[in-house]
Amino acid sequence: MSVDAILKDTPPGKIRSNYRGDGFEHWKYPETVGNDTMMDDINFNSHQSSEYAVERMNLSSGMTSEPFMLFEFMKIDEKQSLIKHKSQRSGLEDLSGIKFKFGKERTTESAEANLKALEDAVGSFADNIREFTKNLVSTAKRDYTGSIALYLPKDIAINDTMGYNEDTRKLGGLLESWSNETLTADDMFNATTLTDPTVLALAAQVGGILPIPAPVLAVIGGSIGTVASLEAQRATGKVLNPNELLRYQNTALRSFSFSWTILPDSENESKQAAGLIKFFRKSAHANKTSATMITVPDHVIASFHGGGAKNVGMIQLPPCYIEAVNVTYNPNNSSFFKQNNAPVEISLSVTLKEIIPIYAHDVEAGY
């Protein structure tokens, strides 16, 4: 699809064409990568990284003779960030500067005036709280800064990992059976049940569950209860059913690692290699704005084109941070080009980490 065709079906101002001298950085290796597609020559005017990633995924290129990865970088909008910072500070000053003024004479008129002043002050306070909170929790705006196109590497691994905890509902199982009246007196009141620390701990908090005085429960619910439970097990060979289960904890944030071997064939490709490595490293680092403040690193929108296009079914990536950049110059031989002393071979690896976990609807969307 050409840029013209995209522009025809896209609202005005949504996307723009990249070109040399546009103020953004554009690097690629090899020089030919992406030359037969226009998908690496557009960017989306969006301050939201997630929205940008969706637009890019929907317009990934499926028709290219040289499959490639495209990395696009989103930087905190420093101007907007400064305005928001000043607004937050102003909001704090407004909140601390509200004062109530009341007249000295106690007349009906003054009482009504004082009540009106109080209502105005409360309303002003609520408005300031609302505005301060809005500025505090809104997402920072980001600006597109440029792109890197690299040939599609091998060994692309996407690993979804879910966190589960092994847990027990020993007490829940006991109470469930008790509430369903499936427990007999022998099941409930025996040495195994009455000496289990879990049962005793609850019984000490909720009186009336067991026919044992609270002071006694408080004592045997501790270490003495553990000893008693052990002895009961030895004597009867029975333990309280632990009712083990696997409890969902979270979805782990994923990391994505990619590796390339760069073998420049020309002086320009050596310059491209140096430029893209610097761009990766620069975007991975935080920006120092003062002695007390830093601005977080850039977001990265990574997309697969050609073999990894969405219509092929290959998983796409959500917005990420750069977690690591590793560069090895001349990993096999100490060789340099005679013309510019640039290294003959460069090994580059980049690790990305997603910013927030994905959910079932994100998988359905293609992530």
Q: Cα separation of 119 and 116, whole Å?
A: 5
* 5-19, 231-245, 297-311: range with lowest mean pLDDT: 5-19
Q: Is the pLDDT of residue 53 over 70?
A: yes
Only one residue has tokens 């005017």, namely: 45
Report residue 38's pLDDT band, with 50, 70 and 90 as the boundaries: confident
What is the Cα gyration radius of the chain?
32
Average pLDDT of the chain to the nearest whole number: 77
pLDDT of residue 168: 76
- Look at the block and give the residue holding tokens 């501790």: 222
At residue 151, the pLDDT reads 94
Joined together, the tokens standing for residue 365 give: 């969307």
What is the spatial distance between Cα 186 and Cα 190, in angstroms, rounded to a whole number? 6
Is residue 203 scored above 60 in pLDDT? no
When pLDDT is averaged across residues 120-129 and rounded to a whole number, the result is 66
pLDDT band at residue 85 under the 50/70/90 scheme: low
What pTM did the predictor assign?
0.72
Confidence at 259, pLDDT banded by 50, 70, 90? very high
Distance CA(49)–CA(26), nearest Å, equals: 19
Q: DSSP state, 148?
A: E
Contact by Cβ (8 Å): 238, 196? no
DSSP 344-365: S-EEEEEEEEESS---HHHHHH
Using a pLDDT cut of 70, give the percent of the chain over it. 61
- Condensed to tens digits (0 to 9), the pLDDT of residues 129-186 reads 666 565 555 677 889 999 999 999 988 998 999 998 887 777 677 666 667 666 665 6
Q: What's the confidence (pLDDT) of residue 325?
A: 97
Question: In which residue are the tokens 């109530």 written?
Answer: 100
d(CA 32, CA 20): 16
The DSSP string of 120-143 is HHHHHHHHHHHHHHHHHHSPPPEE
What is the distance between the alpha carbons of residues 49 and 55, in angstroms, rounded to a whole number? 10
Cβ(274)–Cβ(342) below 8 Å: yes
- Better-predicted residue by pLDDT, 319 or 13: 319
| Nearest C-alpha neighbor of 320 from the set 278, 237, 257 | 257
pLDDT-above-90 percentage for the chain: 26
pLDDT at 312 over 60: no
pLDDT confidence of residue 237: 73
pLDDT tens track for 224-256: 556 566 777 777 777 777 777 788 889 999 999
Greater model confidence, 93 or 34:
34
Which of residues 188 and 364 earns the better pLDDT score?
A: 364
- Closest C-alpha among 80, 10, 81, 20 to residue 45: 10
> Which has the higher per-residue pLDDT, 27 or 211?
27
Q: In this predicted structure, what is the pLDDT of residue 98?
A: 47
* pLDDT value of residue 11: 61
Cα–Cα distances (Å) from 326 to 27, 40, 270, 297, 350, in that order, read 18, 24, 17, 17, 6
What's the pLDDT at 244? 78
Local confidence band at 100 (pLDDT 50, 70, 90 cut-offs): very low
The helix-helix angle for 108-137 and 78-97 (nearest 10°) equals 150
Q: Decide which of 200 and 347 is more confident.
A: 347
For the ranges 9-23, 222-236, 294-308, 352-366, the one whose mean pLDDT is highest: 352-366
**Section 83-90 average pLDDT:** 53
The Cα–Cα gap between 7 and 38 comes to 12
Sign of CA dihedral 157, 162, 163, 168: negative
- Which pLDDT value is given to residue 320? 95
Tokens coding 51: 């929205």
Separation between Cα atoms, residue 127 and residue 91, nearest integer Å: 10
259 in Cβ contact with 348 (< 8 Å): yes
